[in-house]
Amino acid sequence: MQFTLVVYGAPHASEGAATALRFARAVLQAGHGIYRVFFYGDGIHNGSALAAPPQDEQDLLAQWQELQQAHNFDLTLCIAAAQRRGVLSGSEAKRLEKPGSNMAAGFELAGLGQLAEAAALSDRVVTFGG
């Protein structure tokens, strides 16, 4: 079974992102696949390279990156939500004439069309946070 996950929760403001990560691990461990993880709304903060959680808290960014590298699925940030919240790729920062980028490695910007595509190509779409 192929899954797409939609994460609405910021990494340390709600349990949505951490729950999505645990769910993703369980899905993969059970032998299923993840097509795409789509971060939307405040969930786009999961893809910020500038996040620096305290040592006694889990580093969700690093964990998403490790899981993505091990299992080769898409980590996408909604481009409109990311721009509104100041999470930019290098090309978007340049296009918008901003002084720098802060999107983490392994993430890409995508529109809602990519979410619709992922829903069409997946057996299940599961949302986290809200």
CATH code of 111's domain: 3.40.1260.10
Which domain range does residue 96 map to? 2-128
Q: Which pTM value belongs to this model?
A: 0.95
The tens digit of pLDDT for each residue in 11-26 reads: 988 899 999 999 999 9
| 78 is an active site residue | yes
Confidence label for 106 from pLDDT (cuts 50, 70 and 90): very high
What is the tally of structural domains in the chain? Answer: 1
Q: Are 72 and 30 in contact (CB under 8 A)?
A: no
d(CA 103, CA 47): 6
d(CA 1, CA 67): 18
What is the 3-class SS of 10-59, one letter each residue?
CCCCCCHHHHHHHHHHHHHHCCCEEEEEEECHHHHHHHECCCCCCCCCCC
Of the candidates 77, 78, 81, 104, the residue annotated as catalytic is 78
**Nearest of 9, 1, 25, 6 to residue 114 by alpha carbon:** 6
